Amino acid sequence: MKMKMSFLILITIAITAYFSSLVSGYDLDPMQDLCVAVQDTNHSVFVNGKFCKDPKLANADDFFASGFNESGMPTPTNLGFAVNILNVSRMPGLNTLGISMARADLEPFGLVSPHIHPRATELILVLEGTIYVGFVVPDLRNPFKSRLFAKVLNPGDVFVIPQSMIHIQYNLGTTNATHLSCFNSQNPGVHMISYQLFGSNPPILDDVLVKGFQLDKKVIEHLRAQFS
């Protein structure tokens, strides 16, 4: 009986370990050497990634990009930052490789407001300036509380944001700041928390936001006007 129970425990551990290995990954592993994305919007079927063009038609330009010595286009907000993104849409050769990057430039006291990347962990390398970076995770003992992990970063410092954690970047200095972000996904995505909650279309019911944020309805109306 004891041997049978030990055997069942071993089998359970093995199965758990196997399925844990399946869900611990991010983008799927490539199943061929090259899968250059086809930039074709006429496909009637969406796939989790991009369609591949014939590998024989791939060329060096599919795996090349330039322009990261310059700031990206400013975001359409008053937050004071610009982002230069390199993902599979800009470099088709990234398709199935599970990697992308971005350059963020923050004006003095510029803020990348609370957001998440649903499909990627983010590794931040500061190139210039002084940037406050932090993320929050739920408190294991109380889901209505959170723990903050934050650091003040200077040039050469690196900080990692675990996948799907709410995080921010803030320029503490009076000069511009720049950092590079690397992601373990060809298309990490971004959810800007405040903009999605207060600027949704159609809008979320006022009563839901009033109760959820414990704010007066007039404050909710003001926030909706700011983020819509």
Annotated binding site for oxalate: 117, 122
**Measured CA distances, 180 to 19, 127, 133, 191, 192 (Å):** 33, 7, 13, 19, 19
Tell me how far apart the alpha carbons of residues 157 and 138 are, in angstroms, rounded to a whole number: 26
Three-class DSSP labels, 139-192: ECCEEEEEEEEEEEECCCCEEEECCCCEEEEEECCCCCEEEEEEECCCCCCCEE
Tell me how far apart the alpha carbons of residues 199 and 152 are, in angstroms, rounded to a whole number: 30
Q: Are 147 and 137 in contact (CB under 8 A)?
A: yes
Annotated binding site: 115, 117, 122, 167
Annotated binding site for Mn(2+): 115, 117, 122, 167
**In angstroms, how far is CA 164 from the centroid of its own chain?**
7
Residue 153 forms beta bridges with which residues?
131
Q: Any idea how long the chain is?
A: 228
Q: Are 116 and 165 in contact (CB under 8 A)?
A: yes
